[in-house]
Amino acid sequence: MRDGTGKVVYVGKAVDLQARVSQYFHKAGDPRPFVALLSGILERIDTVVTSNEKEALILENELIKKHRPPFNVLLRDDKTYLYLRIDTSDDFPRLELVRRRKSDKALYFGPFASASSVRSTHAMVNRHFGLRTCPDTQFRNRSRPCLECQMGRCLGPCAGGATAEQYRQRVDAVVMFLKGRYEDVRRRLGERMLEAAEAENFEEAARLRDQAKAIQTALVRQAVVLSSTNDTDVIGVARSGDCVTFAVLRFEGGVLTERVPLAMDGVVAPLEEVADSVLLQYYGRAPVPAEVLVPADGFEGLTALAEVLSIRSGHQVKVRTASKGPLGDAVRIAQLNAQQLLVEHLAKGEVRGRSAVRLAELLGLGRPPERIEGYDLSTFQADEPVGSMVVFVDGRAEKRAWRTFAVRLEEGPGDVGFLREVLKRRFTRALEEGQQMPDLIMLDGGEAQLRAAMDVMNALHIDIPMVGLAKSRVIGKGHGPATHSPERLVIQARGTGVREGAAAFGRIEVETIVPPQNDPGLHLLMRVRDEAHRFAVTFHRRRRGRKERGSVLDDIPGLGRIRRTALLRHFGSVAALRAADLVMLKAVPGMPGPVAEAVFSKIHG
C-alpha cells in the first residue's frame, strides 16, 4: 500500500488476497486503527503474485526490510545483544565477546539478552579452560609469560607453554561446553585427570578436577533440560492491546541456555498476521536451531516458515506446535516467560502514558485520567454479597488504596442495589473526610450498572466521568473455536466512538461503543476490571469460608471466648444448649441477662 507520495506504508500477504484487502473497506471488517485512516492516506495498492506461501513470506520480509513501512511490525535493533565468538581455524584462538555476527568461518554462540550472564560465562570459560585472553597483535609480539599464565589461568602458548595440539584439546572442550555437550566435556576431563594421575602429574590432575567441578556448578544453574539433544528454540507470546512480547527459550543440546526477550509496541494487526513475520525477522540475525516449538494459538503458515528457515540455515528445520509431554511443558514455560515480559513492559512509563492518552481519546475526556477507580461485586446465590474498589494511578496498581465492602443490603437486593450501596458508602465518606477523588470510574457491567452509578453520583452532586465495561461472552459454539462477542464500553451519550446502539433511562442517555479489541486504552480498562473482579472474588470466598467454618455462637454481642466456653461446658453440647429455655440460659454462672437473651434470640431466631 502506497500513500500519495508513493511511499510504502504497509506490506501484507494472504492466500486469498481479495478477501483480505476487501476487509479494509468494510466498516466492521478490520479493527486496526490505521484502516480507518486509509481513505486519507492510501493512493494505490501494488500486488505481486507468488507461487506458494513460502515465496510470499520471503518477499514480505524483504519488502519490510527495504521500505520499513510504518504500519508493519519492525523488531528493535539487536545492538544490545552479545555473542561469544571463537575462530577454530586459528592455531591458538581466543574466546571473544562481540556485538555482531559476521559472515566468516568462526563459531558464534548467542545472542544473549543478559549481558551479565554472558560475561559471567565468558569469564568462567577463560578461568577454567585456560584459553588466551590477549589480543592477536599482543599475542604475536609476546615472548615472556603474562600475569594470566603465571596465575595458572592461561596455558601460555605465546611463550611455548603449550603446543598447538595441547591447546586444540582445550578449544574442543570449550566448543563442546558452549554447545551444551556438558557430559562429553566432563567425560573427557575425567579421562585426562586419570591419565595425569597415573603419570604422577598431580598438579595437572588437580587442575582438571577443578575444571570438572566448575562445569558441574554451571550445570546446577540450568533449570530445564529436554530429553532431546537437538538445538531447540521454544517460543512464547503474550499480548495486551498494541503491546506484544515474545520469549525465545534457547535449548542447546537439550539444555536451556538463554531467554531472548522481544517486545514491540504499536502492533495493531491480529497476532496470526505478524507472528511468522516476527520470527522471520528474528532469525535473520540469530542462529537457526534444528527445531522451533510454538504455541498452538497465534501462529499460522508453519510449513512455509520451516521451509524458509531451512533454506536460510542450510539444514532441515522443523517448526511445529507442542501441547503434551516435556515439549508441551517447555512451551508453557515459554508462555509464562512471555507473560512476565509483558507485565514488565506494560509497567514502563511510556507504555502506561500511551494507554492513558488513548483511553482519554476513546471516552472523549479532556485529559488522560491519572487516577482510575474500578468497582465490582461478588456473591453466590445472594449469599454474603461483597464489593471491591481497586485504584490505578498512572496505569499502575495502587494497592494501598484498595478497599472491600461487606454489603449490608441498605439499597435493596440485586447487583444494582449492591452497587448503589458500595458507591454511596465510598463517596459519602470521601466527601466527609476530604479524600482524593478519581478522574475516572470503571464499573464491571453494562447499562443498568452505569445508570445506577449515575443516580448515586447525581444525588451526591459529584461529577466524575464513568464507564461500564461489558465482558466479552460466548455467543456461538460449533466446530472449531467458540465465537465471542467483543468487549463493549457503555458511557453517557456524547456522540463519540463507534455507535452500536443507544438507550434512554429517564433523564440519562447512555450509548454502547465497540472499540478496536487491541486498543491500549481498552486493555487498560480490562486490567482494572480483572483486578477488581479478582479482589472481590477473593474477599467473598474468605467471608463464605469463615461462615462455613463458624458456629451458631459467633457474632453474638457480649458473648466472647470465655463465656462461650462456659456455656458449652455447662450444657455439654450445642444440642443441649438448643433445648434450653431462657431461664436455664440466665442460670448459667457468669451469664448476664441481656447476653442470655441475645443467645436465645440467635439460636431460636
Cell of 368: 488522560
pLDDT of residue 216: 60
Looking at domain 355-545, does it have CATH number 3.40.50.620?
A: no
Delimit the domains of the chain by residue range: 2-67, 82-179, 232-346, 355-545, 561-604
Strands across the sheet with 82-86, in order?
Answer: 96-98, 82-86, 107-112
- Domains 355-545 and 561-604 in one fold: no
Distance CA 189, CA 152 (A): 17
pLDDT of residue 67: 82
Whether 245 and 347 have beta carbons less than 8 Å apart is answered as: no
Cβ neighbours around 463 below 10 Å, total? 8
Distance CA 254, CA 291 (A): 11
pLDDT of residue 468: 93
- Bridge partners of 249, per DSSP, are 234, 259
Cell of 183: 557430559
| Phi-psi domain of 228 (left: phi exceeds 0; alpha: psi -120 through 50; beta: other) | beta
Residues in Cβ contact with 336 at an 8 Å cutoff, skipping those fewer than 6 apart? 236
Taking CA 466 as the corner, what is the angle to CA 461 and CA 472, rounded to the nearest 5 degrees?
Answer: 150
Distance CA 239, CA 342 (A): 7
Distance CA 77, CA 235 (A): 19
pLDDT of residue 401: 93
Cβ neighbours around 564 below 10 Å, total? 15
Whether 590 and 539 have beta carbons less than 8 Å apart is answered as: no
Distance CA 76, CA 96 (A): 24
Spelled out in words, what is the top-level CATH class assigned to the domain 561-604? mainly alpha
Whether 393 and 373 have beta carbons less than 8 Å apart is answered as: no
Cβ neighbours around 350 below 10 Å, total? 8
Whether 585 and 545 have beta carbons less than 8 Å apart is answered as: no
- DSSP assignment of 37-89, as one string? GHHHHEEE------SSHHHHHHHHHHHHHHH--TTS--PPP-TT-EEEEE-TT
Fill in the amino acid letter for 576. Answer: A
Distance CA 107, CA 126 (A): 16
- Residue 132 CA, distance from chain mean position: 42
Residues in Cβ contact with 366 at an 8 Å cutoff, skipping those fewer than 6 apart? 360
Residue with cell 449469599: 383
Residues in Cβ contact with 187 at an 8 Å cutoff, skipping those fewer than 6 apart? none
Identify the architecture of domain 232-346 in CATH. Answer: 2-Layer Sandwich (3.30)
Residue with cell 508513493: 6
Q: Helix (H, G, I), strand (E, B), or coil: what is residue 8?
A: strand
Taking the CA atoms of 362, 367, 368 and 371 in sequence, report the sign of the dihedral they define: negative
Claim: this prediction has a pTM higher than 0.95: no
For the chain (605 residues), the mean pLDDT of every run of 10, in chain order, is 87 81 65 65 82 74 79 59 81 83 77 70 76 78 73 72 79 79 72 85 80 59 58 89 85 75 79 81 84 85 86 88 83 89 82 85 90 92 85 91 89 86 93 92 91 91 92 67 78 54 53 83 90 92 73 74 84 84 87 86 79
Distance CA 154, CA 551 (A): 75
pLDDT of residue 498: 38
Cell of 374: 474500578
Helices (H), 347-434: 349-363, 414-433
Distance CA 332, CA 329 (A): 5
Burial annotation 280-304 (CB, 10 A radius, 16+ → b, else e): bbbbeebbbbebbbbbeebbebbeb
